[in-house]
Amino acid sequence: MIPPIASNFVAGETVDSALGHVEDLNRRGIGGILNLLGEHYDSYEDAAADTEEYIELVEEISARNLKACISVKPSQLGIDISEELFERNFERIVDAADSFVWLDMEDHTTTDATLDVYEKYARETDGNVGVCVQANLVRTGDDLQRLAHLPGKVRLVKGAYDEPAGIAFTDREKVTQIYRDELEYMFREFDGGIAVGSHDPAIIDHAGELYEQYETPYEIQMLMGVREQAQFELVDQSAGEVYQYIPYGSKWLSYFYRRLRERKENIGFAARAIVSG
Ligand code: FAD
């Protein structure tokens, strides 16, 4: 059972609890992006088990008629074992899904394989899949030129992985500047399908200004438990749709610690909740 403090960031351990959270969000105008926690599997069985659960999840999303989609990690579908296994498991999920399917982006060693699989299924499903790209990687400017001509959606994030200096921008301000430039490129060159994956108020404002200039449809995506009040306010205030990325599942502990380590505010928030019981 997940302690109350962790349940700010994780929507329970089961499909049912995660979808219950989505139902609440949908009533408040926010869509859900569900992620079953799990990564870096080195066994076929683990990758197969998560694939099966995602298939159950997309079937339930359709059955309950929810405004929701899923986001999967290549390494939970087996990319560390082989790229073929990752693609096979991804294809099974995409075949079962009426709802949209996102691919999270992991460290740079998986970027090529992830983009190749994305491109194949973006074409085959006529755009029912999306992929995340990271502004901290030097290559992303070129990758966006390739992605601009494909159906599907692209989520731009700053990048969560510590990458080597030769291939990545490591200065946070530089990454934010690159993010702004790349977002402008997307609004200018894409027909739609832009997802702004950021909690940064300046970036969210920048997206709003770019929308006024280019009128390219976009959505805003933030994590469960992070700036939630802003998420609810953006439903009315922003031109873009708002989605919340919702992790769930039994492997919640390491994800929760990552959220705490990431920001002092989260630690303070956790400490206050513990003290107040
Ligand atoms: P930061 O640069 O961390 O912070 C900028 C400003 O935002 C802060 O100064 C503050 O004003 C505000 N802010 C940020 N966090 C908080 C907080 N907890 N509380 C209050 N204010 C805050 N990374 C990947 O590498 N691959 C992925 O597939 C991926 N998917 C993602 C999906 C979504 C929906 C989101 C939101 C992020 C994803 N990320 C992914 C993570 C991303 O790369 C960043 O590490 C993360 O979002 C932090 O960058 P930021 O732009 O949100 O804000």
pLDDT average per 10 residues of sequence, the chain (277 residues):
88 97 98 97 97 98 98 98 98 98 98 98 98 98 97 98 96 98 98 98 98 98 96 95 97 86 63 44
Nearest CA to ligand 1 atom 47: 198
Exposure string of 11-42, with b = 16+ CB inside 10 Å and e = fewer, is: bbbebeebbebbeebbeeebbbbbbbbbbebe
What does the pLDDT read at residue 269? 53
φ/ψ of residue 142, rounded to 5: -70, -40
Amino acid at 210: L
Q: Where are the domains of the chain?
A: 6-251
- Show the CA angle centred on residue 106, arms to residues 245 and 218, nearest 5°: 45
CATH placement of domain 6-251: 3.20.20.220
Tell me, using a 6 A CB cutoff, whether residue 199 lines ligand 1.
Answer: yes
Q: Tell me if residue 258 is catalytic.
A: no
Helix axes 83-96, 111-124, angle to 10 degrees: 30
Task: Residue 217: name the closest of 235, 234, 194 by CA.
Answer: 194
Tell me, using a 6 A CB cutoff, whether residue 77 lines ligand 1.
Answer: no
Supply the pTM of this predicted model.
0.95
Residue 232 and residue 236: Cα distance in Å, rounded? 8
Task: Residue 198: name the closest of 233, 156, 239, 238 by CA.
Answer: 156
Tell me, using a 6 A CB cutoff, whether residue 31 lines ligand 1.
Answer: no
Tell me, using a 6 A CB cutoff, whether residue 160 lines ligand 1.
Answer: yes
Cβ atoms 252, 2 nearer than 8 A:
yes
What does the pLDDT read at residue 277? 37
The residue length of the chain stands at 277
Residue written as token pair 């205030």: 237
φ/ψ of residue 222, rounded to 5: -130, 165
Query: Which residue among 50, 143, 155, 259 is the active-site one?
Result: 155
Which three-class secondary structure state does DSSP give residue 101? strand
Pair of tokens at residue 142: 């070129």
Kindly state the greatest CA–CA separation across the chain: 52
Which atom of ligand 1 sits closest to the CA of residue 176? 2
